[in-house]
Amino acid sequence: MTSLTRSDVAQMVDHTLLKPEATHADVEKLIADASRLGTFSVCMSPSMLPIQTPENLKVAVVCGFPSGAVPTEAKAAEAAWCVNNGADEVDMVINIGAAKEGNWDAVREDIAAVKKACGDALLKVIIESAVLTDEEIVKACEASVAAGAEFVKTSTGFHPAGGASVHAVELMRRTVGKQLGVKASGGIRDAETARAMIEAGASRLGLSGTEAVLDGWE
């Protein structure tokens, strides 16, 4: 893992802007910066769509964000709208309350409905790992696999309990194996933390301070 170059790492990054007060001008700057830094994608709120990006820069949007406490039908409709308006990838939040209740059928069905709405677009499932027990992390990942998602993702970055942890990423990777990608997001602000997440099994990073992370990469 330590042999990764700066450009290798950049191609693992979703360059992210999800502040509620973000403007279209802010997103235009996000896209320009992502293109300059060579990131894999930009990640933004759905209201910014449709948006023009360079051909080699993917567009990711969030869904049911940040609480996940949205009716399944509404999440699915939001995902479908996003894909129809140019999203290549959708980062959805699970129903965290259902997870805490142990209602894994509801969690799986929620994810499956959004995946169906996404069609060929890639679906990442945000499990908000900082508020889940280890057992719940495993079960949330298993539900994501069963529902046909392509990625599991640690965090929204908005929950007071915190963002990504090495422990959560290791557990998520161990659970999904090579079947799914693992995205670490929330609180990754330097190269040392990014490296730890990658070594733990992350195949994608959600970063808002991308340039600082890449500048610290050796």
Question: In the block, which residue shows the tokens 């529902």?
Answer: 147
What's the pLDDT score for residue 196? 98
- Average pLDDT over the chain, rounded to an integer: 97
State yes or no: pLDDT of 165 exceeds 60: yes
153 annotated active-site? yes
State pTM to two decimals.
Answer: 0.97
C-alpha 139/C-alpha 218 separation (Å) is 36
Closest CA to 144 of 189, 99, 197: 99
DSSP for residue 94: P
Q: Out of 58, 124, 139, 183, which one is annotated catalytic?
A: 183
Q: Assign 2 a pLDDT band (cuts: 50, 70, 90).
A: low
CATH topology of domain 6-215: TIM Barrel (3.20.20)
Q: What does the pLDDT look like over 78-117, one tens digit per residue?
A: 999 999 999 999 999 999 999 999 999 999 999 999 999 9
Kindly report the number of other CB atoms within 10 A of residue 194's CB atom: 26
State yes or no: pLDDT of 1 exceeds 50: no
Q: Out of 91, 110, 115, 139, which one is annotated catalytic?
A: 91
Helices 134-147 & 166-176 angle (0-180, nearest 10): 40
Sequence ranges of the domains in the chain: 6-215
Q: Assign 175 a pLDDT band (cuts: 50, 70, 90).
A: very high
59 within 8 A of 34, measured Cβ to Cβ? no
Q: What does the pLDDT look like over 3-29, one tens digit per residue?
A: 899 999 999 999 999 999 999 999 999
What's the pLDDT score for residue 218? 74
State yes or no: pLDDT of 73 exceeds 50: yes
User: Is the link from the previous residue into 50 a cis peptide, with omega within 30 of 0?
Assistant: yes
Q: What does the pLDDT look like over 118-152, one tens digit per residue?
A: 999 999 999 999 999 999 999 999 999 999 999 99
Burial class of residue 128 (count of CB atoms within 10 Å of its CB; 0-12, 13-18, 19+): buried
Give me the helices (H) in 48-206, please: 72-84, 96-101, 104-118, 134-147, 166-176, 191-200
29 annotated active-site? no
C-alpha 133/C-alpha 95 separation (Å) is 15
Q: Where do the DSSP E strands lie in the chain?
A: 13-16, 41-44, 58-63, 89-93, 122-126, 151-153, 181-185, 204-207
115 annotated active-site? no
C-alpha 201/C-alpha 192 separation (Å) is 15
Share of the chain above pLDDT 90, in %: 98
